[in-house]
Amino acid sequence: DAKTTQPTSMDCAEGRAANLPCNHSTISGNEYVYWYRQIHSQGPQYIIHGLKNNETNEMASLIITEDRKSSTLILPHATLRDTAVYYCIVSTGRGSTLGRLYFGRGTQLTVWP
């Protein structure tokens, strides 16, 4: 079901930028790229989403390649509280995907002091 590929785990030093890659080579033209994260034993938290253009909000930046086959989530100054599993999801949010998100295994990001 999941149409994305992410590394299983990544490490990052506190205060440095964390760059989390995601491959979605079969993405279709009307599918958005969403990023969520899940801190241990909590519900997933929406981070950011985008279609074609790069996006930035108070939490992160999303860089989508021109061919849209991959993207990178950037946490500009990672803190210990950013340690979580990060999920990259592609979806139109319509039709058979209405109301549902396909979560893969995500990337376990560990931020160390």
User: Per-residue b/e over 73-96, b at no fewer than 16 CB within 10 Å?
Assistant: bbbeebeeebbbbbbbbbbeeeee
For position 53 contacting another protein by CB under 8 A, the verdict is: no
In eight-state DSSP terms, residue 103 is -
Give the N- to C-terminal CA distance of the chain in Å, as an integer.
36
The residue behind tokens 């930035």 is: 56
Among 53, 67, 96, 113, binds another protein (CB under 8 A): 96
- Total chain residues near another protein (CB under 8 A): 25
What is the nearest approach in angstroms of another protein to the Cβ of residue 23?
18
Q: In the window 1-40, what residues touch another protein (CB under 8 A)?
A: 32, 34, 36
Among 91, 107, 109, 111, binds another protein (CB under 8 A): 91
Contact 54, 68 (CB under 8 A): no
Question: Which residue lies nearer to another protein by CB, 98 or 113?
Answer: 98
Could you give the CA distance from residue 91 to residue 100 in angstroms, rounded to a whole number?
9
For position 41 contacting another protein by CB under 8 A, the verdict is: yes
For position 45 contacting another protein by CB under 8 A, the verdict is: yes
Q: Applying CB under 8 A, which residues contact another protein?
A: 32, 34, 36, 41-46, 49, 87, 91-94, 96-105
